[in-house]
Amino acid sequence: MSKFNKKKDSAVPAVNTASLPDIVFMLLFFFMTVTVMKDTSVKVQNELPKASEIKKLEKKDRIITIYVGSPTEEYQKVFGTEAKIQLNDKFSNPSEVGPYILAERAKKSEDLQNFLTTSLKVDKNANMGIISDIKEELRKVNALKINYTTYEGNAFENLNR
Amino acid sequence: MPRRGAPPEVNAGSMADIAFLLLIFFLVTTTIETDAGLDRMLPPIDENVVDPPIIKQKNIFTVNINKNGQLLVEDELAEIKDLKEKAIAFLDNGGAASGTEDYCNYCKGKRDEASSDNPTKAIISLKNDRETKYNVYITVQNEIVAAYNELRNREALRLYKRNFTDMEAEYLNPETSDEAKEVLKDRVKNIQDLFPQKFSEAETSSGK
């Protein structure tokens, strides 16, 4: 009978947390593998529209990114709410797009220079005027391959609102 | 209590804290990459062209977007959701009479004399206002690409028993072997030639 008595008088055992690190490590590795390091901080509102007929941008070393959108709240006092172009870390005029593309192109290795794609990450509320200006600049420097970067989804959801 | 023989266990309680710290670090420093979108080619600036080539009006499908996001398709007011259907009807029309040079033997459209002669001749012209919202523009682009993809898929299924979009994705995937790419290259090219994306974007109008 003493077998049963022994158990009764001991306190509630502590929950074993030895496997907690394993679980957290699993999460950690998941995030490490699916994400990439941010190289520039985005200073514009950048909610991309949705599209369904999308193609993946495969090679990351062949992409030049241009952000467009209205400045985030902390910059709105200085730059207003009108959509702006962000190149690297600063707001720019459409006329600076051409030199930026040429500078970025010069940074890439020579065998890639003819295969570059310009990825336009444009906020869904931007106007087409600024996009047309960018496209005109891109044509001037012969950067003709562009990609309107979007989220995957139903394109008609863009129109609600 | 008497001491047991086994050595005491290392306290692993703080391991979770360390792992959490790392996890949070990666969470805040990274973004999930949105590396997909609609590919487009811009027309090169060519100063040598003096006269633009003459294109028959019936081979042009005009889409106008105004600043309120309303659509004018072939001079008629239209809804965006009907755009894909209209574009398919136009591209797949094959209006040239059989026996003529432009006759399209794979088209399944209405063969209307007043619409496009042949998919290889058909041009979609998109015009937008400077104040058009970007999301409307993307939706329109998406619908037009969808129209092309649907027709290309149809032909690819007929000729190669596979979807065109699958073939193209496999062709563009860097993990595909070279031999497989060689085969796919011809097929993708073939289908693209049947329904070439002739897509013209006029300079934006700034008018009312």
| Domain boundary assignment for chain A | 50-159
What are the sequence ranges of the domains in chain B? 57-201
Instruction: Report residue B126: phi and psi, to 5°.
Output: -115, 130
Check: CB of residue A126 under 8 Å from CB of residue B138: no
Select from A76, A72, A65, A62 the least CA-distant residue to A40.
Answer: A65
A129 in contact with B at a CB cutoff of 8 Å?
yes
Q: What is the pLDDT of residues B20-78, one digit of tens each?
A: 888 888 777 766 665 788 888 888 877 776 666 777 788 888 888 888 888 888 888 88
Whole-number pLDDT of residue B207: 44
Question: What is the mean predicted confidence (pLDDT) over B130-148?
Answer: 88
Q: What angle do CA B112, B163, B84 make, to 5 degrees?
A: 40
% residues pLDDT > 90 (chain B) = 0
Is A117–B20 a contact, with Cβ atoms under 8 angstroms apart? Answer: no
Select the residue of B19, B38, B138 nearest A25 (Cβ to Cβ).
B19
pLDDT along chain A (161 residues), means of 10: 56 79 83 70 84 80 86 85 84 88 88 86 87 88 88 81 54
B24 in contact with A at a CB cutoff of 8 Å?
no
pLDDT band, very low/low/confident/very high, at B164 (cuts 50, 70, 90): confident
Select from B94, B96, B97 the least CA-distant residue to B108.
Answer: B94
Half-sphere exposure of A38 (CA within 13 A, CB side): 13
Q: Which CATH class is domain A50-159?
A: alpha beta
pLDDT band, very low/low/confident/very high, at B208 (cuts 50, 70, 90): very low
Query: DSSP characters for A45-87?
Result: -----EESS-EE---GGGEEEEEEEPBPHHHHHHH-SS-EEEE
A48: which chain B residues are within 8 Å (Cβ-Cβ)?
A: 34
A16 token code pair: 């074993």
Burial class (CB in 10 A: 0-12, 13-18, 19+), B76: exposed
A12 in contact with B at a CB cutoff of 8 Å?
no
Is B138–A37 a contact, with Cβ atoms under 8 angstroms apart? Answer: no
